[in-house]
Amino acid sequence: MYKILIVEDDLPMAQAIQKEMKMWGNEAEYVRDFQNVLTTFTEYDPHLVLMDITLPFYNGYHWCSEIRRISNVPVIFISSASDNMNIIMAVNMGGDDFIPKPFNLSVLTAKVQAVLRRTYDLAGKIPVLEHRGAILNLYDTTLVYEGEKISLTKNEFRILQTLMENKGRLVSRETLMTRLWETDNYIEENTLTVNIARLRKKLEKAGLKDFITTKVGEGYIIQQL
């Protein structure tokens, strides 16, 4: 579980972001004392910071530079000041990404998850996922079953990875579409349906029948044995 600090003075927006981050299984807290953002940062010790630029007392650039003096934690700027100069400033001040307002919360979540995985996954997670003897290699995006290597497209791999990571838990279509959005390409619902169907055919051809179960109107699940 990752801890995310939200530095945003628009309270309804900060609370909406907090709720969205928690829905994805992360911890999230928003700053309440904008004179002492660094104090909150050191006490909360987050894995990632979402930083607005226009803030009371000191702007987001100031606080990013203060954080950079003591930590390399990822900082993603979120701001309506999305002209080229501000984006360049954000990067130069140590920001890892810049998301212009207004934004879709699902797209924000996808960006956050992508940065978290790039930053932390290689240090802790095993490089494979396994179920019913099928082994998903997280490095070369292939699936191996009974000695046969099954090639997957990027979307098929992301879908299967998400389902195997949540084995035994229902995964909604919205969650899968958010995961696919991490490629920065908009994915329509019909595209998800087509990818699920093609993935199922590949699994069944390899001998993995009923590997993915559909819950009509809810989503998909890989059942625990």
Model pLDDT for residues 9-52, shown as the tens digit of each residue: 999 999 999 998 988 888 999 999 999 999 999 899 899 999 99
Choose among 197, 214, 213: nearest CA to 205.
197
Residues in the chain: 225
* Residues 118/119/120/122 CA torsion (nearest 10 deg): 50
Greatest mean pLDDT among 54-68, 100-114, 169-183: 54-68
Domain with CATH 3.40.50.2300 in the chain: 3-123
Rounded CA-CA distance 143/160 in Å is 9
Question: Could you tell me the two tokens for 76?
Answer: 């993603």
pLDDT in tens, 102-121: 888 888 888 888 888 888 76
Residue 25 in tokens: 């299984």
Listed in order, the ranges of the chain carrying CATH 1.10.10.10 are 128-221
May I ask the CATH architecture of the domain 128-221? Orthogonal Bundle (1.10)
pLDDT at residue 208 is higher than 70:
yes
Contact status, residue 118 vs residue 138, Cβ threshold 8 Å: no
Instruction: Give me the residues paired with residue 99 across strands.
Output: 78
The CATH superfamily of 3-123 is Response regulator (3.40.50.2300)
d(CA 96, CA 91): 7
Output the pLDDT for position 122: 52
Question: pLDDT grade, residue 184 (50/70/90)?
Answer: very low
